Structure 1
Amino acid sequence: MSGAERPRLVIRPRKMRLLAWVAAVALLVVHVAVGVLLRISETGVYFRISDQVALVVLGLIFAGLALLFIRPRVRVLDAGLGVRNLFAETLVPWDHVLAISFPETSSWARVDVPDDEYVPMMALSAMDGQRALDSIRSLRAAVDEHAGSAPR
């Protein structure tokens, strides 16, 4: 995917990003606090500095994993829809975009593609409520615009 192409629309979740930051900070604070307080009382178990460091490192790892939830986004590009979830970004070409759907029981919307398959879009999360609905309307308008201009 070309990094030089400017997207016409970028959609990111709001509440998921906020919750991810809160969870990451909480995980890190708890692990650091437990690591620091580990050697204060004598419980019969001898904790060493390496145990304290390991707890802090685990806190950093868990916080980093929680921060994966700030990555989701959807971009409207000339070449298609750029859908980035937790780990990877997928470019769905316009001629493969059949519809944007948000099933009632789903946590997030999806791009319907040929052969009864779909690409989930974590950036359009049900927890964002009306903001997610407005984003879906904008995204559907972009899909309709490209469907009218591109030969099928």
Structure 2
Amino acid sequence: MKFGIVIVAVLVLGIGPLRAWEPARPAQLSPATSSPQLSRSVWDGVYTAQQARRGALRSGLCVPCHGADFEGDSAAALTGPVFTAKWNGKTIGDLFELINKDMPNDDPGSLSRQQSADYLAYILLANQFPAGKSELTIDIEMLKQIRFEASKP
């Protein structure tokens, strides 16, 4: 009986090392697990001017840490080349999550999803990304499909 177990163990364990000699295959993702194409960017007018105005009206909450012009004070700048370089290649969803979960510094997570979207719209306007005809959504999956691109493609 032990002899049979040994043979099975040798066969099972022996096959693994043999597979190491197979040529490498590219990783394949099933359609359900592949990431969605990021077809939109901040340059496509992903917020409205009215939404940015709502964010501007409430922006006093940001000023104590980020400065009156969002150029940074006790916290990082929200405008300018350092800010856009930091977020370049990420998604609007990433920035939205940061705002929604971590801001304001003295009361993290207290902003509604709509307030976070309005602040984000104002930040986009302050960085001279164009406004569009549709408001920035509060749906995180949709926001994760919008690329942050520092310079216009």
TM-score by length of 2: 0.28
TM-score by length of 1: 0.29
Give the greater-gyration-radius structure (CA): 2
Higher relative contact order (CA 8 A, sep 6+): 2
